[in-house]
Amino acid sequence: MRAWFAIPLWQRVIAALILGIATGLIWGPGAESIKIVGDIFIAFIKMLVVPLIFFSLVAGVASIGDLRKLGSVGWRAMLLFVVTGQIAVWLGLALGTFLKPGSGIDGRSMALDQSALEKAQDRQENAQSFKDMILDIVPDSPVQVMADVNVLPLIVFSLLIGIGILMAKEEGKPVLTIFESGSVVMQKVTMVVMELTPFGVFALMAWVSGTLGTNALAALGQLVLLNYLGCLLIIGIIYAGMIKFIARLPVIAFFRGIVDPIAVSYSTASSNATLPVTLRAAERNLGISNSVASFVISLGATINMNGTAMYLGLATLFGAQAFGVQLDMADYVTISVLGTLGAIGAAGIPGSGLIMMVLVFGAVGVPLETIALVAGIDRIMDMMRTTTNVTGDAAVATTVAVMTGEIDTAEMISADDV
Ligand code: ASP
């Protein structure tokens, strides 16, 4: 027992990831029987999302101290989200154009996943208008929003409470104390739940590697490879470059600090479920102040999805090639705009990128059947997209924290036993 806890958590998590993959490969589809361990783990971290965002974001915003500073953190984060999102979609478009993943596939002759197709058609019929999307961000009932774990309106509500505390000055102090103490308590609870990570990661990896059909994987292998390549380019060039050249911090120390969120995002394929882990790593291992970390990372987990943006570009070209649809430059521009919007609108849950394809495909005339074609292998691509999305949140939070002097870099560099 003591020996178990003596090993740093991140090493236990990585070992679990590798052992999980090996177990799944040996066991095969039967590995699904231990998925329940992973589901319990996900349920535990999901449990933390609402109280953690609420306490830590309110405390964070109020402790920024003044509204001008809040604005300066906010616009920098938004700018980085949007610029990197655009680069990501164009990267997906370039990979799709030059490496043509769909050209060797005849979409009509391949087995389609009918339930995915129905879901996509259903979604197209009930497509949310832009007006609804905006309206959804307004928390008409804060309690409802919390009950539904609806993250974006929860962020808006928490921001407003934080701003209210700032405006109330002396009279707001008692409320601020409650939130600060609540946020410390939630961090402790997160620490306890994190001890389940090795077990959850092991079970989820065994399930994925055990049940993924190798046939489907072989046929669509090129798309899977390009999805991984695109994501690795985003992480290795855009994020590493951002840390090295804008934040001017050691790249290795940054990645070592976020090993936990990387492993959890990869195995759960959910930015939302990873949020508590990302927050903890940002504050504890990277030394980012609570105010910047909670603000930028909570927001990023819902709107900053560059892995998803890249994939939307790539998958649209894949579908166009598989079904013989010609796209011109105007279509590319449409895809880049809708891809970024789709990534912003995608919820941080498994498979939401797949659903967002409806938005992009519809606009440029790529058949929705493409969604049914790739649904079977989406999980394995989703895992990498999610890791990219989560790494992006940490990279933007670090960069903004450096720009605004809200980071203790000594902590990041010396964080040996994270
Ligand atoms: N699962 C991804 C996430 O949570 C979104 C996607 O499907 O691309 O970040």
The CATH number assigned to the domain holding 118 equals 1.10.3860.10
Q: Distance from the CA of 271 to the center of ligand 1, in angstroms?
A: 6
DSSP assignment letter at 407: B
Q: How many domains is the chain built from?
A: 1
Q: Provide the phi-psi class of 405: left if phi over 0, else alpha when psi is between -120 and 50, else beta.
A: left
Spell out which residues line ligand 1, taking CB within 6 angstroms.
269-271, 305, 308, 346, 348-353, 382, 385-386, 389
User: Is 70 exceeded by the pLDDT of residue 290?
Assistant: yes
Structural domain containing residue 408: 31-47+81-133+202-417
> Each residue of 360-409: pLDDT tens digit?
998 899 998 888 888 878 889 999 999 999 999 999 999 999 999 999 87
Position 161 in a domain: no
Pocket test for ligand 1, best of 81, 382, 384, 387 (most atoms within 8 A of CB): 382
On average, the pLDDT of the chain sits at: 88
| Phi, psi dihedrals of residue 44, rounded to the nearest 5° | -65, -45
CA of residue 248 to ligand 1 center, whole Å: 29
Q: Cα(341)–Cα(339) distance, rounded to whole angstroms?
A: 5
269 sits in the region (left: phi over 0; alpha: psi -120 to 50; else beta) called left
Does residue 223 fall inside a structural domain? yes
Give the nearest ligand 1 atom to 350 CA.
Answer: 1
Is position 195 within any domain?
no
What is the best residue among 305, 358, 378 to mutate for testing ligand 1's pocket, by most ligand atoms within 8 Å of CB?
Answer: 305
Cα 390 to middle of ligand 1, angstroms: 9
Amino acid at position 404, single letter? T
Q: How confident is the model at residue 10 (pLDDT cuts 50, 70, 90)?
A: confident
Which residue CA neighbors atom 8 of ligand 1 most closely? 353
Q: Whose CA is nearest to atom 1 of ligand 1?
A: 350
Q: Which residues contact 181 (CB under 8 A, 6 or more apart)?
A: none
In a domain, 118, yes or no: yes
Candidate of 81, 231, 271 to mutate for ligand 1, largest count of ligand atoms within 8 Å of Cβ: 271
**Is residue 141 domain-resident?**
no
**Distance of CA 226 from the midpoint of ligand 1 (Å):** 17
Highest mean pLDDT among 153-157, 180-184, 228-232: 228-232
In the block, tokens 């208008």 appear at: 129
CA 94 – ligand 1 centroid, Å: 21
Q: CB neighbours of 105 closer than 8 A, spacing ≥ 6? A: 219, 220, 321, 322, 373
Global pTM value: 0.84
Q: Say if residue 63's pLDDT is above 80.
A: no
- Cα of 411 from ligand 1 centre, angstroms: 30
Which residue would you say has higher pLDDT here, 219 or 29? Answer: 29
- Distance, CA of 213 to CA of 410 (rounded, Å): 46
Question: Is position 76 within any domain?
Answer: no
Q: Which of 264, 268, 298, 308 to mutate to test the pocket of ligand 1 (most atoms within 8 A of CB)?
A: 308
Gap from CA of 87 to ligand 1 centroid (Å): 18
Specify the residue with its C-alpha closest to ligand 1, atom 7.
Answer: 353
Which atom of ligand 1 lies closest to the CA of 274? 4
Is the per-residue pLDDT at 119 higher than 80? Answer: no
Q: What percent of the chain is predicted at pLDDT more than 70?
A: 94
Of the listed ranges 158-172, 225-239, 350-364, the least confidently predicted one is 350-364
> Is 3 domain-assigned?
no
Q: Is residue 8 part of a domain?
A: no
| Å from CA of 36 to ligand 1 middle | 21
